[in-house]
Amino acid sequence: MTTTRRLAVGLTPMETRRPVVLHLADRAEALGYDAFFVAEGWGHDAGVLLAEIATRTERITLGTGILNVWGRSAASIAMLASTMAEVSGGRFVLGLGADSPPLAEGLHDVDFHAPVQRLESMTRQVRGLLSGERLEPATERTTRPLKLAAVPASPVPIHLAALGPRSVRMAGALADGWAPFLLPLSGLAAGLQQLEAGTTEAAVPRGLPLVAPCIPAAVASDPDRALEMASWWVAFYLTSMGPLYRQTLERLGHADAVEAVTTANPTGRTFDVPESARALLDELTLHGDGDAAGEALDRWYAAGAQLPTLVLPPGRPLEELDHMLEALRP
């Protein structure tokens, strides 16, 4: 595997062991990874956790990967980003996404309505505030809009997690980076076309955003353990994390495999991928031993990935996670 390419590490919202998160951030920096992303869901506040990581690292880029746009106002997101940019010495990337109805409604008590419009509106508002502009209200108000008292010394990159064609085009028009999660490798080319189309819709001509797909990792020297982890990633997200991932795979030609996985796991408490759907493991994950996973990563680079993110499985023993970082180190 070529050693000069950029590579990041990411954690899901289900990784709630703070000491493990801190350890992995330290190891990612020591091993030469370019960035470390922490997702926010129903556990730790990502901004607070990343601020702690910033005080113990020196080089690695830090970011939210991702922060949902239902749990905070545009102003609170912008203040988080501005503060993190200062605390980290300019190493912060703001990752935003629409996430899912269970998180918006079940935790934040906000109606999950028009998610693409919400993501677009929040992105525009946040970028404006971070640029020193006054808030652009979503509705007409009599109160004078405010602006941030502490604006970042340099622009904060904004990455958007987008999967559907409309949201990917929006990322092309607005984002500095595109960070889709659980996008099949064979679907990256179509996504890049949509991303490029979005750049032509921008108010000001702009280049293609950084292509930073988030790819689940399932790396182990024991092939059975690697298969078990890869199967968990695919079965769990197709049966327990809402319809978006299923719909994306069906749209991209994997309807039969999706049906096979959902049929094999009717209760959501098993995580099996039948033989007829095993192609999804290659499409969606980096699995196998270090050599096999490295070859899979090569295919992502060849397809156009510029900063792939290895997403580590939550709750696994620390020695397994360390092994993955070592096996795929840049």
pLDDT band for position 3 (cuts 50, 70, 90): very low
Element (H, E) at 216: strand 214-219
User: Is the residue at 137 inside a domain?
Assistant: yes
CB 12, CB 48: distance < 8 Å:
no
User: Is the residue at 246 inside a domain?
Assistant: no
Q: Using the predicted structure, report yes or no on whether residue 61 has a pLDDT greater than 70.
A: yes
Query: For 144-203, how does the pLDDT look when each residue is reduced to its tens digit (9 = 90+)?
Result: 999 999 999 999 999 999 999 999 999 999 999 999 999 999 999 999 999 999 999 888
- Say how far apart CA 174 and CA 128 lie, in whole Å: 12
Give the residue numbers spanning the domain of 71.
Answer: 8-220+287-327
Q: Give the domain CATH number at 21.
A: 3.20.20.30
What is the predicted pLDDT for the residue at 212? 98
User: Is the residue at 111 inside a domain?
Assistant: yes
Backbone φ and ψ for 250, nearest 5 degrees, come out as: -65, -45
User: Is the residue at 250 inside a domain?
Assistant: no
CB 66, CB 182: distance < 8 Å:
no
What is the predicted pLDDT for the residue at 149? 97
The mean-pLDDT minimum among 192-196, 201-205, 259-263, 278-282 falls in 201-205
- Say how far apart CA 171 and CA 165 lie, in whole Å: 10
Mean pLDDT over 12-26 rounds to 97
Query: For 211-228, how does the pLDDT look when each residue is reduced to its tens digit (9 = 90+)?
Result: 999 999 999 999 999 999
User: Is the residue at 238 inside a domain?
Assistant: no
Average pLDDT, the chain: 96
User: Is the residue at 227 inside a domain?
Assistant: no
Cα distance between the two ends of the chain: 8
Q: Using the predicted structure, report yes or no on whether residue 1 has a pLDDT greater than 50.
A: no
User: Is the residue at 239 inside a domain?
Assistant: no
Q: Between the CA atoms of 143, 128, 11 and 312, what dihedral angle is there, to the nearest 10 degrees?
A: 150
Mean pLDDT over 230-240 rounds to 96
As a whole-number percent, the residues of the chain with pLDDT over 90 amount to: 92
Residue 198, amino acid? G
User: Is the residue at 201 inside a domain?
Assistant: yes
What is the predicted pLDDT for the residue at 140? 87
**Which letter does DSSP use for residue 95 in this model?**
E
Q: How many separate domains does the chain show?
A: 1
